[in-house]
Structure 1
């Protein structure tokens, strides 16, 4: 059986653009600007790209539209619709296509102007016939259900959830690009306006504009393109359900499966990881994913994050950009977990840099805890 091509492909360009509010920009323009910056970072031009991976919620044919916009005639296009996990799935597919020689330069891009265009979270799906009668607030009521179950089953508290939000804010305060950088206390999170019990407004991600892009090549070309390529060591995904009412266990996500496979591909385990980026659309996400990805036992996530353990200066650096809770959340956050991983492994993260970071785990979530994707990245030292 042919396994994942560990270390055979690399990220050679990474960029963000327009994070915060970018009035006057269409979503496709934001994605294009991020892509041009990422290509410049890789010393490549749009004409070098022969595989385009994108997922624009408001554009069903984004693979075609975006290729035309950049003047690219790709061999491969992918416009995956799995929600915020799409870009990590696309990285997995890009790595396989590059390794097989089906393409030479892969571009993965995303952009959203949701904050300046509508000011609300763009929803790509509707409640099913089974859930609609209960009038859930989508997507937060689904995550609130998972949080309530975790609290009931394991004694997790609102203060423990608040630790996640405060840690994210402390990282954001070290990131000049982050949107929310004012002080935030545990009490402020706990006492914030309730949105969907037990989650309050400070347990929820931001609504911002922003774009991100990465460029991938085969490893043998990588050193020509960037002084510090970041190598793809493992990538795996899992889907467990679509609607939260069909989730097999509200306290166990598909990250338990995708993480286990990604670790096996990379030949590492949770204890080896230096920096962790998880999709924190809500505070419960971080706790669930830290458990499912093996950083602590199931049910211990609440206690694990106490005392600033995942904040700057803590034992495990998690969401060093500030995450979706405090850095940015332009509709889908998945690609930003990859960009921050790259910045950390290259040593480009400034005040928030984790010293000696050689191994990074990026994890993204799509739907309502429905689609999970895990990517393990490493420096040349990990090959």
Structure 2
């Protein structure tokens, strides 16, 4: 294992989740940021680096910094979709190692449910998207449906196997009082839910919610004065392979193959050592493709890997333990919530859903239409 301890997650928090008609996107981020800083035992005056991503302003960092009253020495607004925040963690570690700052605040917020903005039509179809969007492909679900259909064609993957993921994730949500959907479901319920884009049913698809989250990353020096034990950032990898689904090199192999390899190599750990996995679940097929690309199983074996509720509470591969984007929350760019749950699992704070003696966590974010990938390996002392 990589014994270098250069930077750690020292604070995490969500804002109000679900439907938040009384709060705007800045208020949700401020609420989460204050709670995450309190969790770390820091204040906003300790923050010297600011990271965020979103589509709510032409220059998100400028507006957020102004609203929070933070004048950072370092700022990063890199946006590669839902995996942006895993990427931000890697960039924060690099900045800390370079001596550019000591404490980074990473935030995200969205009111897509309250303001009904998720499927708001675009007035123009920009640049390379002109070759897909005008021809009826629903975004983003149509792209994921193409990948699912291709996987089924090549490997014989079934809708029942995809449903295993939705059912297991819901079982975790039933243990999380903050989860938006907590009613039990069975495989038959997933298959009976209406088609959204064949072969994906409604319950194969993530939620549409409001919400915000925040993560505080600190140098080893700053982490020593944090209120809670640090969650060390041991490995990181990132990449992106395409923008439009027509240009994805292989519909069944994502960039997680490259980002995962780099993260495992940097951390110096093996797949068998991972105690808990938090994997972006915009759709059930997203999870299955990611498990294969990361190397937890071979291409085409993802269906068998998740069958028999192996990823559910009590199963041998604890995954998406907060209920995931399928059942807990999904405010458009879900990656920051993967980090929040992984940190809490490694700190032993998850109550009924706590994975016993969790020491190593894998976090993987996906962005766009299977376009970007960012992987982290986190650990505790």
TM class, shorter-chain normalised? over 0.9
Task: Say which SS state the counterpart of residue 15 (structure 2) adopts.
Answer: strand
How far apart in 2 are the matches of 1:218 and 1:183? Answer: 42
1:39-118 aligned within 5 A: 39-118=37-116
**C-alpha distance 347-148 of structure 1, shift in aligned 2 (>3 A):** same
Tell me how far 1:6 sits from its aligned partner: 4.2
Q: Is the 8 A contact 2:193 2:202 kept in 1?
A: yes
How far apart in 1 are the matches of 2:121 and 2:356? Answer: 38
Structure 1 residue 228 corresponds to structure 2 residue 229: yes
Cα offsets for 1:253-281 (capped at 9, x unmatched): 00000000000000012111000001100
Number of aligned positions between the proteins: 377
How far apart in 2 are the matches of 1:5 and 1:73? Answer: 33
Structure 1 residue 21 corresponds to structure 2 residue 19: yes
Structure 1 residue 164 corresponds to structure 2 residue 162: no
Task: Say which SS state the counterpart of residue 17 (structure 2) adopts.
Answer: strand
TM-score computed with the length of structure 2 as normaliser: 0.96
How far apart in 1 are the matches of 2:320 and 2:337? Answer: 10
Task: Say which SS state the counterpart of residue 288 (structure 1) adopts.
Answer: helix
The root-mean-square deviation of aligned C-alpha atoms, in Å, is 1.5
How far apart in 2 are the matches of 1:314 and 1:119? Answer: 37
How far apart in 2 are the matches of 1:122 and 1:365? Answer: 22
Tell me how far 1:120 sits from its aligned partner: 3.4
Tell me how far 1:128 sits from its aligned partner: 1.7
Tell me how far 1:133 sits from its aligned partner: 4.5
Cα offsets for 1:272-294 (capped at 9, x unmatched): 10000011000001101111111
Cα offsets for 1:100-137 (capped at 9, x unmatched): 11011100000111111216357898672222343111
Task: Say which SS state the counterpart of residue 151 (structure 1) adopts.
Answer: helix
Q: Which residue of 2 aligns with 1:285?
A: 286
How far apart in 1 are the matches of 2:159 and 2:144? Answer: 14
How far apart in 2 are the matches of 1:235 and 1:19? Answer: 28
**C-alpha distance 5-65 of structure 1, shift in aligned 2 (>3 A):** farther
Structure 1 residue 356 corresponds to structure 2 residue 354: no
Q: Which residue of 1 aligns with 2:6?
A: 8
How far apart in 2 are the matches of 1:219 and 1:261? Answer: 22
Q: Is the 8 A contact 1:16 1:34 kept in 2?
A: yes
How far apart in 1 are the matches of 2:379 and 2:216? Answer: 16
How far apart in 1 are the matches of 2:298 and 2:206? Answer: 25
Cα offsets for 1:153-197 (capped at 9, x unmatched): 000000000000001100000001100000111011012100111
How far apart in 2 are the matches of 1:366 and 1:123? Answer: 20
Q: Is the 8 A contact 1:8 1:219 kept in 2?
A: yes
Q: Which residue of 2 aligns with 1:302?
A: 303
Decide which moves more: 37-46 or 114-123.
114-123
How far apart in 2 are the matches of 1:236 and 1:332? Answer: 19
Q: Is the 8 A contact 1:6 1:266 kept in 2?
A: no
1:178-217 aligned within 5 A: 178-217=179-218
Q: Which residue of 1 aligns with 2:271?
A: 270
